[in-house]
Amino acid sequence: MSQLANKRIILGITGGIAAYKSADLVRRLKERGADVRVVMTQGAKAFITPLTLQALSGYPVHDELLDPSAEAGMGHIELARWADHIIIAPASANTLARLSQGAADDLLSTVCLASTAPVLLAPAMNQAMWSHAATQKNVRVLTGLGYHFVGPAEGSQACGDVGYGRMVEPNDIVAHLLESSTTHSLSGQHVLITAGPTQEPIDPVRYLTNRSSGKMGYALAQSAIAAGARVTLISGPVHLDVPDRVTCHGVRTADEMYEAVMSHVGTCDIMIACAAVSDMKPASRQHAKVKKNEFTGDIKVTENRDIVKAVAAHQDKPYTVGFAAETNDVMTHAKSKLSDKALDMIFVNEVGENKGFESDNNAGVAIWNQGEREFTSMPKTRLADEIIKLIGENV
């Protein structure tokens, strides 16, 4: 089970530009199995509609304190008792000020005051508002009162300024929450993860590759961070943001991935080979673009080195987990790979037109010498939590 499965989370949204990111945050929390209820300030409703949040969370949005009909349902005290966690994202300067005073003059501040659940604040505001002495004093007071903070991040802002004040990305808020609610199953471990496809050049403009998006490997990196690990990610070319606190080395070819991985093998405790490494590469690489009339009709290929096999054969072998994407005889192929490559665990999934690669969901079976566990289709982020937990139990 994901650490957030069935967790009851109140997401408070306040009046700031970053409120549009809250819609994505609801999705990220729900895909990890959390039960999410949204509380909006009046200001927040100027930036994003309650209807959007209702549709995403699956529940009506709570936005009124002094509303007899709301109190007849889940009123402020019930909401406060219901929550396992409260997240306020974005948290405006105004809300930070009111919370630091112990105000209870709207639903969100009253729920925070009435709840014993941990409150995580993701501030978002103009950089001058954030660095203002009044806001910084409020942050110190709130920290002293036991509120937790994630961010803000540095960068360019909607108003044109540059500096600290951007809300951190929804995935980083989830990672922070996971980290604070996890048992740290990989605490202190160095985990090396490969992700994405490789590109094997034919000439300067063409290459052999595959449909891997890298989403599974990146999700594993984020889950491993949340489980307390130090993570090094060796990534093929993908269009994904590197999760917070992950050290990432970008590579292009299988040879580059091999070299990058082998340079870390001696120092890692766990290696998760999630990349879809090309089995073959063009036997020779043309240094000028091959013209249409020069095509012979054949591309001669040679085999690439087997990275995960080399890791498992290393004298300082880490706990080695392979991934196998198969289109047929899935279990038979996976079991022979487990033994042929001397892996400690293999995760096998069926890939095809609408399965595995590129999709946000994945399903499969983890096999190790003492057992196997099947995972039904679920978001890759949640599956990553499950796989990391399983590795933590077996390593």
**Number of residues binding to ligand FMN, judged by CB under 6 A:** 15
Q: Mask of contacts with ligand FMN, 73-112, x by CB under 6 A?
A: -------------------xxxx-----------------
- Dig out the tokens for 306 from the structure: 């087997």
**Shortest reach from residue 137's CB to ligand FMN, in Å:** 15
**Shortest reach from residue 140's CB to ligand FMN, in Å:** 17
| Residue among 9, 34, 39, 44 that touches ligand FMN (CB under 6 A) | 44
Burial label for 194, CB within 10 Å (0-12, 13-18, 19+), is: buried
Q: What is the DSSP letter of 197?
A: B
**Shortest reach from residue 81's CB to ligand FMN, in Å:** 23
Q: What is the DSSP letter of 372?
A: E
Q: Which helix (H) or strand (E) holds 270?
A: strand 270-273
Is the distance from CB of 148 to CB of 121 less than 8 angstroms? yes
Is the distance from CB of 381 to CB of 30 less than 8 angstroms? no
When the beta carbons of 141 and 363 are compared against ligand FMN, the nearer one is 141
When the beta carbons of 165 and 236 are compared against ligand FMN, the nearer one is 165
When the beta carbons of 24 and 350 are compared against ligand FMN, the nearer one is 24
Task: Rule CB under 6 A: say whether 22 interacts with ligand FMN.
Answer: no
Q: Which residues are catalytic?
A: 159
**Shortest reach from residue 80's CB to ligand FMN, in Å:** 18
- Dig out the tokens for 386 from the structure: 């499950």
| Residue among 24, 27, 33, 43 that touches ligand FMN (CB under 6 A) | 43
| Residue among 2, 3, 14, 210 that touches ligand FMN (CB under 6 A) | 14
Which alpha helices (DSSP H) does the chain contain, by range?
A: 19-31, 50-57, 68-72, 76-82, 93-100, 107-114, 127-131, 133-144, 170-181, 215-226, 254-265, 307-312, 330-340, 380-394
Task: Rule CB under 6 A: say whether 163 interacts with ligand FMN.
Answer: no
Task: Rule CB under 6 A: say whether 225 interacts with ligand FMN.
Answer: no
- Per CB under 6 A, the segment of 39-47, 77-85, 265-273, 322-330 that binds ligand FMN is 39-47
| Residue among 4, 12, 16, 221 that touches ligand FMN (CB under 6 A) | 16
Task: Rule CB under 6 A: say whether 15 interacts with ligand FMN.
Answer: yes
When the beta carbons of 97 and 363 are compared against ligand FMN, the nearer one is 97
Cα distance between residue 331 and residue 366, in whole Å = 10
Alpha-carbon dihedral 138, 139, 145, 151, rounded to 10 degrees: 150
Q: Which residues pair with 85 in a beta bridge?
A: 9
- Dig out the tokens for 100 from the structure: 């630091």
Binding site for ligand FMN (CB under 6 A): 14-18, 41, 43-44, 92-95, 124-125, 129
